[in-house]
Amino acid sequence: MLTTSIGTVRGKMLPGVTPSVSVIVPCYNGGRFIPQLLGSLARQTFRDFEIIIVDDGSTDAATRQALDNLDPSVRVIRQGNKGLSAARNAGIASAAADLVLTLDCDDMFEPPFLAEAVAIMRAAPPDVALVLCHMRLAGAANGPLERHFNRFDLLFSNPIPSGVLLRKAAWQAAGGYDEAMRDGYEDWEFYLRLMLRRYRGITIPKPYKIYHVSSEGMLFNQSSGKHAAIWRRIRRKHAAAYRPLAILRLWRESRDGSGRDDAGHVSALKATIAYLMAVLLPDGFFSALIALRRQRHLLHGHRPAYPAGGGAPPRNAILNGKH
């Protein structure tokens, strides 16, 4: 049984009790992951949080039963199947806290993450929208994977994990996750909107996030296969940001040494090649190249290692990681 320090009754907050963090977990037929998720949260050294699980129209009887049997300290929101973005938005809208931890139901974090992330966010200025960390892969892959915040890189890839500590005010300012994006990359597009509103992120250089990789998951089976079309939709939605002069200006700003961005991993040459490939190649061929690159990078372990305790991580190639 999970016990938090912020008393709830049958999923409802007690009057006058406000947690420091709201943990938001969309769930669609993911009941088998709930015990390890709650176990991960129970081991956090930071205790002042509530948990909100959004059941996005699960059809799996075992998942529905698992959610029905949760401890009353876990708030459960039920809705029809509207997609990951809508589930995240519903959970964040219901959050009592000013800070939210966005999780997928198969995510886990090492015990120090929340304590360190909350301390960083409390000390940070309002333009810091999120705190992220590196990842440790599990499941179909294993080993560390660096994540980072860099505004230029966000134009061409998603170097930020879906699980971050996020300011609710920044989510509101950006307009939430795009609920029309049901094929993936909704977190990439959301982070891009934050960046275009001059928000930034801070990275904890430690692999605190445990990311479950599955060859049958959404990233490989759906998003990668539609990469060309989804990225084109993102470019069209944010057309001003993808104009040549705007790209050049952002490249200079993100590498000016001000400390606003983490070190950039996407060179101007790689960005140009990726853009030309997206424009000139047939969608199916370009998407297949991306899927192959991800499989090689994630499933087959072609990733440079870096010290597990932090330090200087490697410079990863373009278009890697979870979207």
Q: Kindly report, residue by residue over 85-111, the tens digit of the pLDDT.
A: 999 999 999 999 999 999 998 899 999
pLDDT of residue 305: 41
In a domain, 38, yes or no: yes
What digits encode the pLDDT tens for the residues 26-65?
Answer: 999 999 999 999 999 999 999 999 999 999 999 999 999 9
Q: What is the pLDDT of residues 128-187, one digit of tens each?
A: 999 999 999 888 778 888 999 999 999 999 999 999 999 999 999 999 999 999 999 999
Q: Mean pLDDT throughout 245-249?
A: 95
Check residue 13 and give its pLDDT.
Answer: 56
pLDDT value of residue 17: 77
Domain membership of residue 292 (yes or no) is yes
- Number of domains comprising the chain: 1
In a domain, 109, yes or no: yes
> Does residue 128 lie within any of the structural domains?
yes
pLDDT band, very low/low/confident/very high, at 16 (cuts 50, 70, 90): low
Model confidence at 240: pLDDT above 60:
yes
**Number of Cβ atoms within 10 Å of the Cβ of 14:** 10
Looking at the chain, the whole-number percentage of residues with pLDDT higher than 90 is 68
- 203 or 261, which is more confident? 203
The per-residue pLDDT for 304 is 43
Could you tell me if residue 317 is inside a domain? Answer: no
Examine residue 207 and state whether it is found in any structural domain, yes or no: yes
Nearest to 118 by CA among 141, 138, 98, 142: 98
Give the model's confidence band at 6: pLDDT under 50 very low, under 70 low, under 90 confident, else very high: very low
Least confident span in 1-15, 203-217, 285-299: 1-15
- Summary mean pLDDT of the chain: 86
- 315 lies in some domain: no
Mean pLDDT value across residues 306-311: 42
pLDDT at 206: 96
Q: Write out the residue range of the structural domain in which residue 168 sits.
A: 8-299
CB of 220 within 8 A of CB of 212? no
What are the pLDDT digits (tens) for 183-232? 999 999 999 999 999 999 999 999 999 988 765 555 555 677 899 999 99
Rounded to the nearest 5°, which phi and psi values hold at 224? Answer: -60, -40
Query: For the chain, how many residues are written?
Result: 323
CB 79 within 8 A of CB 87: yes
- Residue 18: inside a domain, yes or no? yes
State residue 14's pLDDT score.
56
Q: What is the pLDDT of residue 259?
A: 79
Contact 35, 104 (CB under 8 A): no
Whole-number Å distance between alpha carbons of 110 and 115: 10
pLDDT band for position 306 (cuts 50, 70, 90): very low
- Of residues 20 and 286, the one with the higher pLDDT is 20
165 within 8 A of 121, measured Cβ to Cβ? yes
Are the CB atoms for 149 and 194 separated by under 8 Å?
no
The CATH number of whichever domain residue 195 belongs to comes to 3.90.550.10
Q: Tokens in use for 57? A: 């129209």
